[in-house]
Amino acid sequence: MWMTLFRKEWRETRTVFFILQGVFTFLYLLIWFSLTQNSGWAFLLMFVVAAAHVLYLFIAWLWSLQGEWRSRTHWTWLNLPVPGWKLITSKLAAVFSQYLLSLAYAMAAGWFSLRLFLEQFPAVLPVDELDRSLLSFYESASPWIYLLMTHLSLQFGFAVVLLYLLFKAFRFLGAAAGVLLIIGWNYLTSAAEGVFQLLQFGEIVNLSELFYRTFSLPPGRMMADGTENLILYAGDTLFYLVFYAVLLAVFHYLIDRKIEA
């Protein structure tokens, strides 16, 4: 039943997905054209693409959920003989799979843009070895940048789903409570930074060290001002996987027990 719901969500959202990819393709072409013209617009457009993918799940998940109420199919959706977790995860997973494809496309376009940039600016970057190092670093760091971008987009996406479901369950009081919860969580993660450092175990990759090795720099040279290294830890990863699972359990509870058709 879950796969049936997943395929249904994919069919209902694929038109918007393909339109978005068409828009992104147009932006990539503009970026490449701007690079051939030595225009600074290319970097602004790159920022727009990156920001769009950070907010992708926020917008797409909200649009998908609103679609049930907008088309007045929420009564049927909420009364399907399946548990709430199947309803919500199939809907979120369909859009999430599209996001993963879109981000992979963006990363590939980024690689091509970097290569084109290096070819267009021989006077600025005249050393072939440096050109190869930049491409090598991008290729080596891409999987981890992909994961970090996905994690960031998931945070925005889960936040808006929580707010929307709380609003549907408790109206404005629920939405206000959701906003307070999100603000409180952000404050907690900042105030209890020392506690969260306990999760920094099991180093998976150190992007700073990867940068040093790629460019044959002495370790710590770029961090002489005391800036922390960018490191992905297994502890942090495990914590957020559990955190997202807890949020899905909350969504399941709200759909099954609190939201009325």
For the chain, the structural domain boundaries read 2-258
Say how many Å lie between the first and final Cα of the chain, rounded. 21
- Give the DSSP H or E segment for 232: strand 231-233
Whole-number Cα distances in Å, 154 to 15, 81, 112, 149, 231: 22, 28, 26, 9, 19
Q: What average pLDDT score do residues 72-93 get?
A: 93
pTM exceeds 0.85, yes or no: yes
Q: Residues 163-178: pLDDT tens digits? A: 999 999 998 899 899 9
Please report the pLDDT score of residue 214 as a whole number: 66
Q: Hey, which of 70-84, 148-162, 202-216 has the most confident mean pLDDT?
A: 148-162
Q: Residues 10-61: pLDDT tens digits? A: 999 999 999 999 999 999 999 999 988 878 899 999 999 999 999 999 999 9
Angle in degrees, CA 176, 181, 185, rounded to 5:
150
Q: What average pLDDT score do residues 192-199 get?
A: 76
Bridge partner residues of 232 (DSSP): 205
In angstroms, the CA 69 to CA 251 distance is 17
Give yes or no for residue 124 having a pLDDT over 60. no
Q: Residues 175-184: pLDDT tens digits? A: 899 999 999 9
Q: Residues 223-261: pLDDT tens digits? A: 444 445 678 889 999 999 999 999 999 999 999 998 986
Give yes or no for residue 222 having a pLDDT over 60. no
Give yes or no for residue 138 having a pLDDT over 50. yes
Residues 6+ apart with CB under 8 A from 27: 45, 48, 49
Side chain identity, residue 18: F
Please report the pLDDT score of residue 216 as a whole number: 60
**Which residue, among 69, 91, 95, has the nearest Cα to 4 in the 3D structure?**
91
If pLDDT is split at 50, 70 and 90, which confidence band does 215 have?
A: low
Q: Alpha helix (H) ranges present in the chain? A: 2-36, 41-54, 56-70, 74-78, 84-120, 128-191, 193-196, 207-214, 234-253
In angstroms, the CA 261 to CA 186 distance is 32
In the chain, % of residues over pLDDT 70: 89
In angstroms, the CA 197 to CA 141 distance is 23
Residues 6+ apart with CB under 8 A from 35: 42, 113, 116, 117, 120
Please report the pLDDT score of residue 133 as a whole number: 75
**Which tokens hold the place of 50?**
């990156």
Please report the pLDDT score of residue 224 as a whole number: 45
Please report the pLDDT score of residue 122 as a whole number: 58
Tokens 């950070």 appear where? 54
Q: Which DSSP symbol is given to 37? A: T
Q: What average pLDDT score do residues 199-207 get?
A: 85
Whole-number Cα distances in Å, 126 to 32, 118, 132: 20, 9, 11
SS3 159: helix
Give yes or no for residue 161 having a pLDDT over 50. yes
In angstroms, the CA 143 to CA 253 distance is 34
pLDDT averaged over the chain? 87
